[in-house]
Amino acid sequence: MEQIKESQVEDEAVDGGSSTSESEYQHALEVVFDEENAKRRKSSLVTTENPNLGKSAAKKPGTTSCFVHQLLENQRKSRKGQPPLQHDESRLDRNLDKASDPQNQAVHSRLLTKRQLSEMAIGVRELSKKLGSIRLKLKVKTIFLLTKAHDSDLIVLTRNVTEWLLSKERDSPYIIYVENTLQQNRAFDAQGLVSKDPSYEGRLKYWDNELCKKHPHLFDFAITLGGDGTLLYASWLFQRIVPPVLSFALGSLGFLTKFDYADYEDTLSMAFKDGITVSLRLRFEATIMRTQTALENKKHDLIEELIGDEAENNLTHRPDGSYTILNDIVVDRGPNPTMSSTELFMDEKFMTSVQADGICVATPTGSTAYNLAAGGSLCHPENPVILVTAICAHTLSFRPVILPDTVVLRVGVPYDARTSSWASFDGRERVELHPGDYVTISASRYPFANVMPQASSGEDWIGSISRTLNWNSRQRQKSFKEWEEQQHLDGKNV
Protein backbone atom coordinates (compact mmCIF):
# COMPACT_ATOMS: atom_id res chain seq x y z
CA MET A 1 0.00 0.00 0.00
CA GLU A 2 1.29 3.43 -0.90
CA GLN A 3 2.40 5.56 2.03
CA ILE A 4 2.75 9.33 2.30
CA LYS A 5 3.86 11.60 5.12
CA GLU A 6 1.97 14.73 6.09
CA SER A 7 3.87 17.93 5.41
CA GLN A 8 4.50 19.77 8.64
CA VAL A 9 5.17 23.45 9.26
CA GLU A 10 8.52 23.89 10.95
CA ASP A 11 7.28 26.42 13.49
CA GLU A 12 7.74 25.98 17.20
CA ALA A 13 4.96 24.14 19.02
CA VAL A 14 2.37 26.28 20.76
CA ASP A 15 1.13 25.17 24.19
CA GLY A 16 2.67 21.72 23.94
CA GLY A 17 1.53 20.38 20.61
CA SER A 18 0.51 22.92 18.01
CA SER A 19 2.45 22.77 14.76
CA THR A 20 1.30 26.22 13.64
CA SER A 21 0.76 29.56 15.27
CA GLU A 22 -2.64 30.99 16.10
CA SER A 23 -2.24 33.77 13.55
CA GLU A 24 -1.65 31.18 10.84
CA TYR A 25 -4.76 29.34 11.97
CA GLN A 26 -6.79 32.52 11.64
CA HIS A 27 -5.40 33.13 8.13
CA ALA A 28 -5.70 29.51 7.04
CA LEU A 29 -6.17 28.73 3.36
CA GLU A 30 -8.97 26.33 2.63
CA VAL A 31 -9.66 25.87 -1.06
CA VAL A 32 -8.76 27.50 -4.35
CA PHE A 33 -11.23 30.20 -5.35
CA ASP A 34 -11.83 31.56 -8.80
CA GLU A 35 -12.12 35.26 -9.55
CA GLU A 36 -15.55 34.94 -11.19
CA ASN A 37 -18.56 35.64 -9.03
CA ALA A 38 -22.17 34.86 -9.80
CA LYS A 39 -25.34 36.26 -8.35
CA ARG A 40 -25.78 35.56 -4.63
CA ARG A 41 -28.31 36.76 -2.06
CA LYS A 42 -27.02 39.98 -0.49
CA SER A 43 -28.26 39.00 2.94
CA SER A 44 -26.30 35.77 2.62
CA LEU A 45 -23.20 37.79 1.84
CA VAL A 46 -23.03 39.28 5.32
CA THR A 47 -19.88 37.70 6.68
CA THR A 48 -20.46 38.26 10.38
CA GLU A 49 -23.21 37.87 12.90
CA ASN A 50 -23.42 41.64 13.08
CA PRO A 51 -25.09 42.90 9.88
CA ASN A 52 -23.31 46.25 10.18
CA LEU A 53 -19.92 44.60 9.89
CA GLY A 54 -19.14 43.64 6.37
CA LYS A 55 -15.77 43.82 4.75
CA SER A 56 -13.22 41.63 6.49
CA ALA A 57 -9.58 42.41 6.73
CA ALA A 58 -7.64 41.05 3.80
CA LYS A 59 -6.27 37.56 4.29
CA LYS A 60 -2.60 36.84 3.87
CA PRO A 61 -1.27 33.72 2.22
CA GLY A 62 -0.14 31.20 4.77
CA THR A 63 -0.22 27.63 5.85
CA THR A 64 -3.17 25.92 7.43
CA SER A 65 -3.11 23.75 10.51
CA CYS A 66 -5.91 21.62 9.07
CA PHE A 67 -4.18 18.61 7.55
CA VAL A 68 -7.02 18.12 5.04
CA HIS A 69 -6.48 21.58 3.60
CA GLN A 70 -2.73 21.15 3.59
CA LEU A 71 -3.23 18.13 1.37
CA LEU A 72 -5.79 19.99 -0.76
CA GLU A 73 -3.32 22.81 -1.32
CA ASN A 74 -0.53 20.38 -2.21
CA GLN A 75 -2.89 18.60 -4.59
CA ARG A 76 -3.90 21.86 -6.23
CA LYS A 77 -0.29 22.95 -6.70
CA SER A 78 0.71 19.66 -8.26
CA ARG A 79 -2.25 19.79 -10.62
CA LYS A 80 -1.99 23.43 -11.73
CA GLY A 81 1.52 24.44 -10.76
CA GLN A 82 0.50 27.94 -9.69
CA PRO A 83 0.32 29.87 -6.41
CA PRO A 84 -2.95 29.91 -4.46
CA LEU A 85 -5.61 32.39 -5.45
CA GLN A 86 -7.15 34.46 -2.71
CA HIS A 87 -10.87 34.89 -2.29
CA ASP A 88 -11.98 38.27 -3.64
CA GLU A 89 -14.01 39.16 -0.57
CA SER A 90 -14.16 42.83 -1.49
CA ARG A 91 -16.24 41.99 -4.55
CA LEU A 92 -18.65 39.95 -2.47
CA ASP A 93 -19.11 42.70 0.05
CA ARG A 94 -19.09 45.71 -2.23
CA ASN A 95 -22.77 46.40 -1.46
CA LEU A 96 -22.40 46.07 2.30
CA ASP A 97 -21.19 48.43 4.97
CA LYS A 98 -17.45 49.09 4.92
CA ALA A 99 -16.75 48.59 8.61
CA SER A 100 -13.95 46.14 9.29
CA ASP A 101 -14.31 43.04 11.40
CA PRO A 102 -10.90 41.81 12.55
CA GLN A 103 -12.40 39.10 14.78
CA ASN A 104 -14.17 37.19 12.04
CA GLN A 105 -11.85 36.31 9.17
CA ALA A 106 -13.59 33.17 7.93
CA VAL A 107 -15.39 32.98 4.60
CA HIS A 108 -18.56 30.93 5.00
CA SER A 109 -19.45 28.43 2.30
CA ARG A 110 -22.75 30.23 1.71
CA LEU A 111 -20.68 33.11 0.29
CA LEU A 112 -19.22 30.95 -2.46
CA THR A 113 -20.48 31.05 -6.00
CA LYS A 114 -21.69 27.99 -7.88
CA ARG A 115 -18.31 27.54 -9.51
CA GLN A 116 -16.42 27.97 -6.26
CA LEU A 117 -18.61 25.40 -4.52
CA SER A 118 -18.04 23.00 -7.42
CA GLU A 119 -14.27 23.46 -7.29
CA MET A 120 -14.28 22.92 -3.56
CA ALA A 121 -16.38 19.76 -3.84
CA ILE A 122 -14.25 18.32 -6.65
CA GLY A 123 -11.07 18.96 -4.69
CA VAL A 124 -12.42 17.21 -1.60
CA ARG A 125 -13.68 14.24 -3.66
CA GLU A 126 -10.33 13.75 -5.37
CA LEU A 127 -8.49 13.95 -2.07
CA SER A 128 -10.96 11.59 -0.39
CA LYS A 129 -10.46 9.03 -3.15
CA LYS A 130 -6.69 9.19 -2.72
CA LEU A 131 -6.82 9.01 1.06
CA GLY A 132 -8.93 5.86 0.84
CA SER A 133 -6.07 3.93 -0.77
CA ILE A 134 -3.04 5.25 1.13
CA ARG A 135 -1.72 5.37 4.65
CA LEU A 136 -1.18 8.82 6.05
CA LYS A 137 1.63 9.18 8.56
CA LEU A 138 1.13 11.97 11.08
CA LYS A 139 3.53 13.57 13.53
CA VAL A 140 1.37 13.12 16.60
CA LYS A 141 2.29 15.05 19.73
CA THR A 142 -1.03 16.10 21.28
CA ILE A 143 -3.99 13.73 21.53
CA PHE A 144 -7.61 14.70 22.24
CA LEU A 145 -9.55 12.06 24.19
CA LEU A 146 -13.36 12.06 24.31
CA THR A 147 -15.78 9.75 26.09
CA LYS A 148 -19.21 9.82 27.73
CA ALA A 149 -18.46 11.77 30.88
CA HIS A 150 -21.59 10.42 32.64
CA ASP A 151 -20.85 6.72 31.99
CA SER A 152 -18.72 5.32 34.82
CA ASP A 153 -17.79 2.18 32.87
CA LEU A 154 -16.47 4.19 29.94
CA ILE A 155 -14.59 6.53 32.28
CA VAL A 156 -12.63 3.57 33.63
CA LEU A 157 -11.81 2.47 30.07
CA THR A 158 -10.77 6.03 29.23
CA ARG A 159 -8.40 6.02 32.19
CA ASN A 160 -6.82 2.82 30.88
CA VAL A 161 -6.22 4.38 27.48
CA THR A 162 -4.87 7.57 29.05
CA GLU A 163 -2.42 5.65 31.23
CA TRP A 164 -1.26 3.60 28.27
CA LEU A 165 -0.67 6.71 26.15
CA LEU A 166 1.21 8.47 28.96
CA SER A 167 3.47 5.49 29.63
CA LYS A 168 7.19 5.91 29.01
CA GLU A 169 7.07 2.77 26.89
CA ARG A 170 5.51 4.78 24.07
CA ASP A 171 7.76 6.00 21.28
CA SER A 172 6.84 9.62 21.92
CA PRO A 173 5.93 11.57 25.10
CA TYR A 174 2.35 12.31 24.11
CA ILE A 175 0.37 15.16 25.65
CA ILE A 176 -3.13 13.90 26.48
CA TYR A 177 -6.18 16.17 26.79
CA VAL A 178 -9.24 14.75 28.56
CA GLU A 179 -12.49 16.52 29.42
CA ASN A 180 -12.19 18.89 32.38
CA THR A 181 -15.06 17.15 34.18
CA LEU A 182 -12.78 14.13 34.67
CA GLN A 183 -10.28 16.11 36.72
CA GLN A 184 -12.31 15.58 39.91
CA ASN A 185 -13.99 12.35 38.83
CA ARG A 186 -13.42 9.47 41.27
CA ALA A 187 -13.58 6.78 38.61
CA PHE A 188 -10.94 8.52 36.52
CA ASP A 189 -8.80 9.31 39.59
CA ALA A 190 -6.51 11.87 37.97
CA GLN A 191 -4.51 12.33 41.17
CA GLY A 192 -3.83 8.63 41.46
CA LEU A 193 -2.81 8.49 37.82
CA VAL A 194 -0.37 11.38 38.14
CA SER A 195 1.12 9.96 41.34
CA LYS A 196 2.35 6.90 39.44
CA ASP A 197 4.86 8.96 37.49
CA PRO A 198 5.81 12.63 38.02
CA SER A 199 6.13 13.15 34.25
CA TYR A 200 2.40 12.47 33.81
CA GLU A 201 1.46 15.73 35.54
CA GLY A 202 2.89 17.94 32.79
CA ARG A 203 1.45 15.80 30.01
CA LEU A 204 -2.07 15.20 31.30
CA LYS A 205 -4.19 18.25 30.48
CA TYR A 206 -7.86 19.11 30.28
CA TRP A 207 -10.04 20.53 27.55
CA ASP A 208 -13.34 22.37 27.58
CA ASN A 209 -15.67 23.59 24.84
CA GLU A 210 -13.97 26.96 24.56
CA LEU A 211 -10.56 25.39 23.99
CA CYS A 212 -11.94 23.22 21.17
CA LYS A 213 -13.67 26.21 19.64
CA LYS A 214 -10.81 28.70 19.80
CA HIS A 215 -7.75 26.46 19.53
CA PRO A 216 -8.63 23.32 17.54
CA HIS A 217 -5.15 23.39 15.99
CA LEU A 218 -3.67 22.29 19.33
CA PHE A 219 -4.73 18.68 18.70
CA ASP A 220 -2.94 16.44 16.22
CA PHE A 221 -5.13 13.39 16.74
CA ALA A 222 -8.47 12.56 18.39
CA ILE A 223 -9.72 9.35 20.01
CA THR A 224 -13.33 8.71 21.01
CA LEU A 225 -14.67 5.95 23.25
CA GLY A 226 -18.40 5.47 22.83
CA GLY A 227 -20.91 5.18 20.04
CA ASP A 228 -21.94 7.23 17.02
CA GLY A 229 -23.32 9.91 19.34
CA THR A 230 -19.89 10.41 20.87
CA LEU A 231 -18.42 10.83 17.40
CA LEU A 232 -21.13 13.36 16.53
CA TYR A 233 -20.21 15.27 19.67
CA ALA A 234 -16.59 15.37 18.49
CA SER A 235 -17.79 16.86 15.20
CA TRP A 236 -19.84 19.41 17.16
CA LEU A 237 -16.86 20.43 19.28
CA PHE A 238 -14.66 20.99 16.22
CA GLN A 239 -16.83 23.27 14.11
CA ARG A 240 -14.05 24.07 11.65
CA ILE A 241 -10.61 22.49 11.85
CA VAL A 242 -11.00 18.89 12.99
CA PRO A 243 -8.15 16.46 13.67
CA PRO A 244 -8.32 12.86 12.39
CA VAL A 245 -10.70 10.96 14.66
CA LEU A 246 -10.25 7.28 15.57
CA SER A 247 -13.31 5.83 17.28
CA PHE A 248 -13.59 2.72 19.43
CA ALA A 249 -16.99 1.03 19.29
CA LEU A 250 -18.54 1.13 22.76
CA GLY A 251 -22.07 2.18 21.81
CA SER A 252 -25.25 0.62 20.43
CA LEU A 253 -25.11 0.68 16.62
CA GLY A 254 -21.68 1.70 15.40
CA PHE A 255 -22.06 3.03 11.86
CA LEU A 256 -19.03 5.29 12.39
CA THR A 257 -17.09 3.50 15.14
CA LYS A 258 -15.01 0.86 13.38
CA PHE A 259 -12.45 -0.24 15.97
CA ASP A 260 -12.74 -2.79 18.78
CA TYR A 261 -11.73 -1.44 22.18
CA ALA A 262 -10.26 -4.81 23.20
CA ASP A 263 -7.50 -4.23 20.63
CA TYR A 264 -6.84 -0.58 21.44
CA GLU A 265 -3.14 -1.07 22.19
CA ASP A 266 -2.40 -2.72 18.84
CA THR A 267 -4.72 -0.35 16.99
CA LEU A 268 -3.10 2.81 18.33
CA SER A 269 0.44 1.45 18.00
CA MET A 270 -0.14 0.65 14.33
CA ALA A 271 -1.84 3.99 13.71
CA PHE A 272 1.08 5.99 15.11
CA LYS A 273 3.80 3.79 13.63
CA ASP A 274 2.46 2.65 10.24
CA GLY A 275 -0.03 5.43 9.46
CA ILE A 276 -3.80 5.71 9.13
CA THR A 277 -6.44 5.45 6.41
CA VAL A 278 -8.84 8.40 6.43
CA SER A 279 -12.37 8.75 5.12
CA LEU A 280 -13.48 12.35 4.56
CA ARG A 281 -17.12 12.70 5.58
CA LEU A 282 -19.14 15.55 4.07
CA ARG A 283 -20.37 18.09 6.59
CA PHE A 284 -22.88 20.91 6.14
CA GLU A 285 -22.62 24.52 7.17
CA ALA A 286 -25.94 25.97 8.30
CA THR A 287 -26.57 29.64 9.05
CA ILE A 288 -29.65 31.14 10.69
CA MET A 289 -30.83 34.25 8.82
CA ARG A 290 -33.16 36.61 10.72
CA THR A 291 -35.59 38.89 8.96
CA GLN A 292 -35.09 42.62 9.41
CA THR A 293 -38.33 43.66 7.75
CA ALA A 294 -40.98 41.81 9.76
CA LEU A 295 -41.77 44.86 11.92
CA GLU A 296 -42.24 47.16 8.94
CA ASN A 297 -45.83 48.13 8.30
CA LYS A 298 -46.23 46.46 4.93
CA LYS A 299 -46.91 43.07 3.43
CA HIS A 300 -43.86 40.87 2.85
CA ASP A 301 -43.20 37.86 0.67
CA LEU A 302 -40.25 35.58 1.48
CA ILE A 303 -40.02 34.33 -2.11
CA GLU A 304 -39.85 37.88 -3.42
CA GLU A 305 -37.20 38.82 -0.87
CA LEU A 306 -34.95 35.86 -1.68
CA ILE A 307 -35.19 35.46 -5.44
CA GLY A 308 -37.40 38.27 -6.79
CA ASP A 309 -36.63 41.85 -7.78
CA GLU A 310 -36.69 42.84 -4.12
CA ALA A 311 -33.60 40.68 -3.58
CA GLU A 312 -31.49 42.98 -5.74
CA ASN A 313 -31.24 46.09 -3.61
CA ASN A 314 -32.38 45.29 -0.09
CA LEU A 315 -30.54 43.78 2.85
CA THR A 316 -33.56 42.00 4.25
CA HIS A 317 -31.91 39.50 6.60
CA ARG A 318 -28.98 39.27 8.98
CA PRO A 319 -27.03 36.15 10.08
CA ASP A 320 -27.59 34.90 13.62
CA GLY A 321 -25.17 32.02 14.13
CA SER A 322 -23.57 29.31 11.98
CA TYR A 323 -23.19 25.61 12.73
CA THR A 324 -21.21 22.81 11.09
CA ILE A 325 -22.99 19.47 11.25
CA LEU A 326 -22.20 15.86 10.33
CA ASN A 327 -25.68 14.27 10.36
CA ASP A 328 -28.60 16.55 9.59
CA ILE A 329 -30.44 19.83 9.95
CA VAL A 330 -34.10 19.45 10.91
CA VAL A 331 -36.68 22.23 10.65
CA ASP A 332 -39.89 21.09 12.31
CA ARG A 333 -43.00 22.29 14.12
CA GLY A 334 -41.37 22.07 17.56
CA PRO A 335 -43.86 22.33 20.44
CA ASN A 336 -46.62 23.66 18.17
CA PRO A 337 -49.64 21.32 17.89
CA THR A 338 -50.16 22.12 14.21
CA MET A 339 -47.99 21.22 11.25
CA SER A 340 -45.28 23.59 10.08
CA SER A 341 -45.24 25.59 6.88
CA THR A 342 -41.87 26.05 5.18
CA GLU A 343 -40.59 27.12 1.78
CA LEU A 344 -37.62 25.45 0.11
CA PHE A 345 -35.16 27.20 -2.21
CA MET A 346 -32.28 25.77 -4.23
CA ASP A 347 -29.67 28.32 -5.29
CA GLU A 348 -31.67 31.17 -6.85
CA LYS A 349 -34.79 29.11 -7.53
CA PHE A 350 -37.91 28.39 -5.53
CA MET A 351 -38.44 24.63 -5.21
CA THR A 352 -41.65 24.07 -3.29
CA SER A 353 -43.74 24.80 -0.21
CA VAL A 354 -43.81 22.04 2.39
CA GLN A 355 -46.79 21.43 4.66
CA ALA A 356 -45.56 18.80 7.09
CA ASP A 357 -44.34 18.12 10.60
CA GLY A 358 -40.97 19.26 9.31
CA ILE A 359 -38.19 18.77 6.81
CA CYS A 360 -34.89 16.91 7.24
CA VAL A 361 -31.79 17.89 5.25
CA ALA A 362 -29.20 15.16 5.75
CA THR A 363 -25.64 14.39 4.76
CA PRO A 364 -24.81 10.92 3.37
CA THR A 365 -23.50 10.06 6.85
CA GLY A 366 -26.83 11.14 8.34
CA SER A 367 -28.88 9.11 5.85
CA THR A 368 -29.16 6.30 8.43
CA ALA A 369 -30.39 8.63 11.19
CA TYR A 370 -33.54 10.81 11.21
CA ASN A 371 -33.58 10.74 7.41
CA LEU A 372 -34.10 6.97 7.52
CA ALA A 373 -36.89 7.25 10.11
CA ALA A 374 -38.65 9.84 7.92
CA GLY A 375 -38.60 7.52 4.90
CA GLY A 376 -35.55 8.94 3.14
CA SER A 377 -33.02 7.05 1.04
CA LEU A 378 -30.06 5.17 2.41
CA CYS A 379 -26.94 6.70 0.90
CA HIS A 380 -23.34 5.52 0.83
CA PRO A 381 -21.17 8.03 2.74
CA GLU A 382 -18.88 8.60 -0.25
CA ASN A 383 -21.70 10.05 -2.34
CA PRO A 384 -21.39 13.87 -2.62
CA VAL A 385 -25.07 14.65 -2.17
CA ILE A 386 -27.66 16.44 -0.03
CA LEU A 387 -30.73 14.43 1.00
CA VAL A 388 -34.02 16.29 1.48
CA THR A 389 -36.88 14.41 3.16
CA ALA A 390 -40.22 15.68 4.44
CA ILE A 391 -41.35 14.51 7.88
CA CYS A 392 -44.98 13.33 7.77
CA ALA A 393 -45.86 15.50 4.77
CA HIS A 394 -49.56 16.32 4.41
CA THR A 395 -49.62 15.19 0.79
CA LEU A 396 -49.47 11.95 -1.19
CA SER A 397 -46.98 13.24 -3.74
CA PHE A 398 -43.96 14.50 -1.78
CA ARG A 399 -41.07 12.11 -2.25
CA PRO A 400 -37.52 12.39 -0.90
CA VAL A 401 -35.10 14.11 -3.26
CA ILE A 402 -31.33 13.85 -3.60
CA LEU A 403 -29.44 16.98 -4.67
CA PRO A 404 -25.77 17.61 -5.53
CA ASP A 405 -23.53 19.02 -2.81
CA THR A 406 -22.76 22.06 -4.98
CA VAL A 407 -26.10 23.77 -4.34
CA VAL A 408 -27.07 26.18 -1.56
CA LEU A 409 -30.40 25.30 0.06
CA ARG A 410 -32.61 27.66 2.00
CA VAL A 411 -35.42 26.50 4.25
CA GLY A 412 -37.59 29.44 5.29
CA VAL A 413 -40.74 30.15 7.26
CA PRO A 414 -43.14 32.25 5.14
CA TYR A 415 -44.41 35.52 6.56
CA ASP A 416 -48.00 34.26 6.50
CA ALA A 417 -47.24 31.04 8.41
CA ARG A 418 -49.61 30.39 11.30
CA THR A 419 -46.81 29.39 13.68
CA SER A 420 -43.05 29.54 13.94
CA SER A 421 -40.79 26.57 13.25
CA TRP A 422 -37.79 25.19 15.11
CA ALA A 423 -34.38 24.21 13.74
CA SER A 424 -31.96 21.73 15.28
CA PHE A 425 -28.43 20.85 14.20
CA ASP A 426 -27.27 17.28 14.75
CA GLY A 427 -29.97 17.13 17.42
CA ARG A 428 -28.47 20.09 19.29
CA GLU A 429 -28.92 23.85 19.63
CA ARG A 430 -32.69 24.07 19.22
CA VAL A 431 -33.43 27.46 17.60
CA GLU A 432 -36.81 29.06 16.90
CA LEU A 433 -37.46 30.38 13.39
CA HIS A 434 -40.04 33.13 13.29
CA PRO A 435 -42.04 33.98 10.16
CA GLY A 436 -39.63 35.54 7.68
CA ASP A 437 -36.53 33.71 9.01
CA TYR A 438 -34.69 31.06 7.06
CA VAL A 439 -31.71 28.70 7.23
CA THR A 440 -29.01 28.46 4.55
CA ILE A 441 -27.47 25.01 4.07
CA SER A 442 -24.37 24.29 2.01
CA ALA A 443 -21.43 21.91 1.94
CA SER A 444 -18.82 22.84 4.52
CA ARG A 445 -15.20 23.39 3.53
CA TYR A 446 -14.23 21.43 6.63
CA PRO A 447 -14.95 17.71 6.11
CA PHE A 448 -14.82 15.29 9.01
CA ALA A 449 -11.70 13.10 8.92
CA ASN A 450 -12.80 9.68 10.15
CA VAL A 451 -10.03 7.09 10.61
CA MET A 452 -10.92 3.76 9.03
CA PRO A 453 -9.45 0.25 9.27
CA GLN A 454 -6.79 -0.20 6.62
CA ALA A 455 -8.57 -3.16 5.04
CA SER A 456 -11.92 -1.36 4.88
CA SER A 457 -13.89 -1.00 1.65
CA GLY A 458 -17.32 -0.05 0.41
CA GLU A 459 -18.58 -3.44 1.56
CA ASP A 460 -18.19 -2.32 5.18
CA TRP A 461 -21.10 0.07 4.81
CA ILE A 462 -23.35 -2.66 3.40
CA GLY A 463 -22.30 -4.89 6.26
CA SER A 464 -23.05 -2.21 8.84
CA ILE A 465 -26.60 -1.52 7.63
CA SER A 466 -27.25 -5.26 7.36
CA ARG A 467 -25.90 -5.87 10.86
CA THR A 468 -27.46 -2.92 12.67
CA LEU A 469 -30.69 -2.37 10.72
CA ASN A 470 -31.31 -5.87 9.34
CA TRP A 471 -31.40 -4.32 5.88
CA ASN A 472 -33.29 -6.54 3.42
CA SER A 473 -33.51 -9.31 5.96
CA ARG A 474 -36.02 -11.91 4.77
CA GLN A 475 -36.48 -15.65 4.83
CA ARG A 476 -35.23 -17.09 1.54
CA GLN A 477 -37.87 -18.24 -0.92
CA LYS A 478 -38.06 -22.00 -1.46
CA SER A 479 -37.04 -23.32 -4.86
CA PHE A 480 -39.32 -25.33 -7.17
CA LYS A 481 -38.88 -29.09 -7.40
CA GLU A 482 -38.18 -30.37 -10.89
CA TRP A 483 -41.13 -32.18 -12.53
CA GLU A 484 -39.12 -35.30 -13.41
CA GLU A 485 -37.83 -35.56 -9.85
CA GLN A 486 -41.33 -35.25 -8.41
CA GLN A 487 -42.67 -37.89 -10.86
CA HIS A 488 -39.87 -40.27 -9.86
CA LEU A 489 -40.73 -39.82 -6.19
CA ASP A 490 -44.44 -40.40 -6.88
CA GLY A 491 -43.61 -43.65 -8.71
CA LYS A 492 -41.68 -44.93 -5.75
CA ASN A 493 -44.59 -44.21 -3.44
CA VAL A 494 -46.89 -46.34 -5.63
Task: Return the pLDDT at 111.
Answer: 67
Average pLDDT across the chain, whole number: 79
pLDDT per residue as tens digits for the range 344-378: 999 989 999 999 999 999 999 999 999 999 999 99
pLDDT score of 239: 92
State residue 107's pLDDT score: 61
pTM of structure: 0.78
* pLDDT value for 445: 87
Q: What is the pLDDT of residue 198?
A: 86
Which pLDDT score, from 0 to 100, does residue 460 have?
77
pLDDT, tens digit (0-9, with 9 covering 90-100), for 400-437:
999 999 999 999 999 999 999 999 999 988 999 999 99
pLDDT given for residue 479 in this prediction: 85
pLDDT at 38: 45
* 64-73, 214-223, 321-330, 356-365: range with lowest mean pLDDT: 64-73
How much is the pLDDT for 487? Answer: 64
Count CB atoms within 10 A of the CB of residue 95: 12
| Res 355: pLDDT | 95
- Residue 312 or residue 278, greater confidence: 278
pLDDT of residue 310: 58
